[in-house]
Amino acid sequence: MRSNASGPAAGPASAGPAAPSPGRGTTSFHQGRDPNSRRERFSRWANKNRKWLLAGPSVIFVIALLVIPLAWTVFLSFTDAKRSIRRPFGFNGVENYTTALTDTARFWPSVGRTFAFTAGALTFELILGMVVALLLWKPFRGQGVVRTIVLLPLVATPVAVGMMWRLLFEPNIGFINEMLSWVGIPPQPWLADPSTSLATLTFVDIWQWTPMVALILLAGLTGLPEEPIEAAKVDGADAWQRFWFVIVPLSRPVIIAAVLLRGIDALKTFDILYATKGKGGGSFHDVETLNVYAYGLSFDYNEYGLASAVLVLFFLMILLVIWVLQMQRKGKQS
């Protein structure tokens, strides 16, 4: 009896239930799904083009906010649109461009002020930004507090900064002239004098945006290798030689990036100029840049076609500046 219970007859029973064959008790994952169905075809197409599907919303966003307004501005620049927006307008060819390019009273002086403001602000911001970045490069006690203080100008909006400095530079009650009186210097007109207005606002721009340039340069300095600097120090190079012949060449890509970013932003400056001097860049148009000029044409005189032509010309000038900087960058790298 025992031999029968534990013999070969008991073997299959102790092995447990037999695994069902794929054809009987189980269903394959893809069983019942038609590979030619609409859902399957769409799934294969979406998987094949997933990079375009994922980038699609961003592309649509850029087209909606950049390409369409730019195309509309170019379209308006070839029309005689003016006064009421409901007024019918027609094409007038390149008349708006001819009017702008032959305007020696407002257009070309605004071009000169735009590039003078940008060149002055960018030069000092780059120099002072490098000085600040070098001071913050190596760790020291209280470094966090100093960095916070340095970044404070970036916290305020440009309009608030412009209004603040307008009060500080006020000729009669401004604090700047009050401080000058302590050392015997007579009050200065600052923003009230057409000969000093642009330089004064260039100083305001330098005060606000130097910290941003310093942050960009500091990020580049922290990524520099230590070996070339230490090798120059061993070879007897002093601090200036290490900076000019080692640090600056190694930081050239970051410096060019800072020049591009801040230069383009300075070219587009509007809020500080308008907040301090108002319409037309002042009574004598002393700080009227291309942005302020185009704004006045659009919202003060309702010359939409001419304003669009000025903006298109300004856009082409910015592209030309970027192209020149990129060519210089490629030439130095080669």
State pLDDT tens for residues 214-239: 999 999 999 899 899 999 999 888 98
As a dihedral over the C-alpha atoms of residue 35, residue 40, residue 42, residue 46, rounded to 10 degrees, the angle is -110
Instruction: Report how far apart, in Å, the C-alpha atoms of 247 and of each of 137, 280, 325 are.
Output: 12, 44, 21
Is the pLDDT assigned to residue 99 strictly greater than 70?
A: yes
**What's the CA angle centered on 310, arms 306 and 312, to 5 degrees?**
115
User: How many percent of the chain have pLDDT more than 70?
Assistant: 88
Question: How big is the CA angle at 89 (ends 88 and 92), to the nearest 5 degrees?
Answer: 165
Using CA atoms, how far apart are residues 53 and 67, in angstroms rounded to an integer?
20
Q: Please tell me whether the overall predicted TM-score, pTM, comes out greater than 0.85 for this model.
A: no
DSSP secondary structure, 10-70, as one string? HHHHHT-SPPPPTTTT---TTTT--TTSHHHHHHHHHHHTHHHHHHHHHHHHHIIIIIHHH
Beta bridge partners of 319: none
Say yes or no to pLDDT of 25 above 50.
no
Cα 319 from Cα 313, distance rounded (Å): 10
CA distance 187 to 172: 8
Per-residue pLDDT of 231-287, as tens digits, reads 999 988 898 999 999 999 999 989 988 998 999 899 989 999 999 998 889 889 999
pLDDT given for residue 175 in this prediction:
92
The H or E element spanning position 198 is helix 194-222
Q: How confident is the model at residue 33 (pLDDT cuts 50, 70, 90)?
A: low
pLDDT at 333: 63
Q: Specify the higher pLDDT residue, 25 or 257.
A: 257
HSE-up of residue 272 (Cα within 13 Å, Cβ side): 28
Our CA angle for 41, 45, 48, nearest 5°, is 140
Provide the CA 158 distance to its chain's centre, in angstroms: 15
Contact 205, 161 (CB under 8 A): no
Beta strands in 144-303 (DSSP E): none
